[in-house]
Amino acid sequence: MERRPVEISQQALERQQQICAQIRTAWEQTGRVPRAFVDTYGCQQNEADSERIRGMLRACGYEITDTEEGADCIVINTCAIREHAETRVYGNVGALVHTKARHPEQKIFLCGCMMGQKQVVARIRSSYRHVDGVFNPHELWRFPELLQTVLHTGRRVFAADQTEGNIAEGIPVVRASTLRAWVSIMYGCNNFCSYCIVPYVRGRERSRRPDEILSEVRSLLSSGYRELTLLGQNVNSYGKDLPDGMDFAALMASIASMPGEFWLRFMTSHPKDATFRLFDTIAQYPAICRQFHLPFQSGSDRILRAMNRHYDRASYLSLVDYGRSLMPDLVLTSDVIVGFPGETEEDFADTLSLIERVRYDALFTFIFSPRAGTPAAAMDDPTPKEEKNRRFDRLCELQNSISQQIHQGYVGKTLRVLADGTDGASVTARTEGGRLVRLPADESLVGQFLDVTITGSTTWSLVGQPAANQEK
């Protein structure tokens, strides 16, 4: 198949690998192993990008550490989704002045979604002079070259003008877990929800080729990964830009039919593109977790229109009803925004009633945060902050009581879990639906699927015991 122009050429990527080798050799000659720290804000896309940044750093000879103190290279991978996320980044980057004063050779880079905004880059350039380099999400594949320039010249580099999205295959990765892996299947977003900054900073939707995805998945499964999460801002539109027409349901089906016991998850789904067929696929394949993260954002049709979401309450509920009719045990989670400009008490009541109707296992709840350059930031917003906070509290109270009731309903049931770690005196595990379960400590369980009988619950997690007579 002919390469699409959005793909960075193999030649260009090989050049980055050569640069990594040059940097590594230069460090080897100093007789010292350099250390690098990568800090990540934001969503799973950023987590996945940070794994690639660590991969490139390791290829450059760096050992990855978990502290900025004394690190030779610091990379802060930023998130722009809400003001709060940005404020935290500014605070933490400001504090690095002191870390760098103690270690003047330290090189500091900022990347990620904040660096996709011109005003942010300008502010870093003028007011954060201890930052050595900036690159936006489209320039991530060129990080080795940027690092080398900074190391050689001592000058600051700004790679933030590129606005065209791309796909770069074969960048090395250092994965955070040996059990769970992120697999990006597409990048960018075309939806322009009126509140959201992502399409501006991550570019247009572009799908990785199925053969690249399937070969990454095969290699993960053969190296023992037990849980894969397919990532994209809107996975349901996977493949729409590909010439050979494989869509998301077909991609899931080809992964889910691979041999071995593993779990397959995906996020995020936009309700306007989620299809009944996708639910059919989930129901058909045991490897696909019966969990669906389906952000509804608001229960009011008026607000959904203002958000430019292209679905309404009734069509959202028909998806939920169809999914539940096929799989009564389907676990649903969602995102919701409180206090969108112009949201009235009546609109908010519609959001509460939708939550009561659907009964999500868990909700990610956000107060609207105006993002410069998005349409919603310019909308009239007469509701006072205190009223938004009160609505937010009411919503959280409702959801907490639902989560608690749902969790109580698990007590006495036997569920399949994947044990993933330890926490003090317990082993932690996740159910197929993504709920956290604590088990009595037995480290030999970590990395295994097992059946667990649920013996207790709280708002946030479950307590269990390995079920008797099971095959491990």
Cα(174)–Cα(435) distance, integer angstroms: 26
The partner in contact with residue 445, picked from ligand SF4, ligand SAH, ligand F3S, none with C-beta cut-offs of 5 to 8 angstroms by kind, is: none
Token digits of residue 91: 């605070």
Token digits of residue 27: 């460090």
Q: Do the Cβ atoms of 317 and 357 come closer than 8 Å? A: yes
Task: Write the CB contacts of 441 (distance below 8 Å, at least 6 apart in sequence).
Answer: 422, 425, 426, 427
Minimum CB separation of residue 369 from ligand SAH in Å reads 4
Which CB sits closer to ligand F3S, 45 or 374? 45
The partner in contact with residue 228, picked from ligand F3S, ligand SF4, ligand SAH, none with C-beta cut-offs of 5 to 8 angstroms by kind, is: none
Q: Do the Cβ atoms of 149 and 176 come closer than 8 Å? A: no
Which CB sits closer to ligand SF4, 192 or 364? 192
> Please, what is the Cα angle at 135 between 109 and 366, to 5 degrees?
90
Helix ranges (H only) for 103-236 are 118-127, 143-153, 198-202, 210-222
Which CB sits closer to ligand F3S, 113 or 282? 113
Strand, coil or helix: 392 = helix
Which CB sits closer to ligand SF4, 208 or 270? 270
Cα(188)–Cα(163) distance, integer angstroms: 11
Query: Does position 199 bind ligand SF4 by CB under 6 A?
Result: yes
Q: Do the Cβ atoms of 189 and 165 come closer than 8 Å? A: no
Q: Phi, psi (5° rounding) for residue 451?
A: -90, 135
Query: Does position 193 bind ligand SF4 by CB under 6 A?
Result: yes
The partner in contact with residue 45, picked from ligand SF4, ligand F3S, ligand SAH, none with C-beta cut-offs of 5 to 8 angstroms by kind, is: ligand F3S
When binding is defined by CB under 6 A, the residue of 106, 234, 351, 457 that contacts ligand SF4 is 234
Q: Residue 208 carries which side chain, given as an amino acid letter?
A: R
Distant-in-sequence contacts of 406-409, Cβ < 8 A, 24+ apart: 406/359, 406/361, 407/435, 407/457, 407/458, 407/459, 407/461, 407/462, 408/457
Cβ of 251: how many Cβ atoms within 10 Å?
23
Which CB sits closer to ligand SF4, 159 or 337? 337
Task: Write the CB contacts of 403 (distance below 8 Å, at least 6 apart in sequence).
Answer: 360, 361, 362, 459, 460
Query: Does position 207 bind ligand SF4 by CB under 6 A?
Result: no
Cα(138)–Cα(256) distance, integer angstroms: 31
Minimum CB separation of residue 140 from ligand SF4 in Å reads 18
Minimum CB separation of residue 76 from ligand SAH in Å reads 19
The partner in contact with residue 199, picked from ligand SAH, ligand F3S, ligand SF4, none with C-beta cut-offs of 5 to 8 angstroms by kind, is: ligand SF4
Helix ranges (H only) for 178-292 are 198-202, 210-222, 248-256, 276-284
Interaction residues for ligand SF4, span 248-287 (CB under 6 A): 270
Which CB sits closer to ligand F3S, 100 or 202? 202
Binders of ligand SAH: how many residues, by CB under 6 A? 17
Minimum CB separation of residue 46 from ligand F3S in Å reads 4
Query: Does position 371 bind ligand SAH by CB under 6 A?
Result: yes
Minimum CB separation of residue 200 from ligand F3S in Å reads 10
- Binding marks (x or -) toward ligand SAH, 264..303, rule CB under 6 A? ----x-x------------------------x-x------
When binding is defined by CB under 6 A, the residue of 78, 106, 166, 191 that contacts ligand SF4 is 191
Strand, coil or helix: 292 = strand
Query: Does position 109 bind ligand SAH by CB under 6 A?
Result: no
Query: Does position 196 bind ligand SAH by CB under 6 A?
Result: yes
Ramachandran area for residue 126 (φ above 0: left; ψ -120 to 50: alpha; else beta): alpha
Which CB sits closer to ligand SF4, 201 or 251? 201
Beta bridge partners of 184: 231
Q: Phi, psi (5° rounding) for residue 154?
A: 75, 0
Minimum CB separation of residue 259 from ligand F3S in Å reads 33
Question: Contact residues for ligand F3S (CB under 6 A)?
Answer: 42-43, 45-46, 79-81, 112-113, 197-198, 202
Interaction residues for ligand SAH, span 53-82 (CB under 6 A): 81-82
Query: Does position 166 bind ligand SF4 by CB under 6 A?
Result: no
Query: Does position 351 bind ligand SF4 by CB under 6 A?
Result: no
Residues in contact with ligand SF4 by the rule CB under 6 A: 189, 191-193, 196, 198-199, 233-234, 270
Residues in contact with ligand SAH by the rule CB under 6 A: 81-82, 195-196, 198, 233-234, 268, 270, 295, 297, 335, 337, 366, 368-369, 371
